[in-house]
Amino acid sequence: NLALLQTLLHLMAWNDDTNLVSRGGLAGLNFVQQEAQRLLWQGGVLADGGLEALRQFDDELIARHLSPGGSADLLAVTWFLSAFPAGALFP
């Protein structure tokens, strides 16, 4: 789903993901944030060639042993909460 991929890019661009810090230090976190921001400035997955750019980014993350697990967890919670009907959860 393109919306979820685009949302994940936003989370990766701005979330101080402690899993990335654990695996790659602050340099790893900065690399991921800067690259995700660069992809978003180009339109992200919605741009022409955006999915291929995301695949290349994924390949680079794998090569560097970086995993944005914190951002992925936030995406999962976002998707889960989107299934709730509108309104207060705890009236």
Instruction: Let me know: does 24 contact 64? Beta carbons within 8 Å.
Output: yes
pLDDT at 14 over 80: yes
In a domain, 55, yes or no: yes
Is 19 within the bounds of a domain? Answer: yes
Q: Give the pLDDT of residue 91.
A: 60
Burial of 5 (0-12, 13-18, 19+ CB in 10 A): middle
pLDDT tens digits along 77-88: 988 888 877 666
With residues binned 3-state (H G I as helix, E B as strand, rest as coil), the percentages for the chain, rounded to 5, are 75, 0, 25
Mean pLDDT confidence for 47-60? 98
How far is residue 17's CA from residue 78's CA, in Å, rounded to a whole number? 16
Q: Report yes or no on 1 lying in a domain.
A: no
Give the CA angle between residues 4, 26, 51 to the nearest 5°. 25
The tally of domains found in the chain comes to: 1
- The pTM for the full model equals 0.89
pLDDT at 6 over 90: yes
Residue 45's domain comprises 8-68
In a domain, 49, yes or no: yes
In a domain, 88, yes or no: no
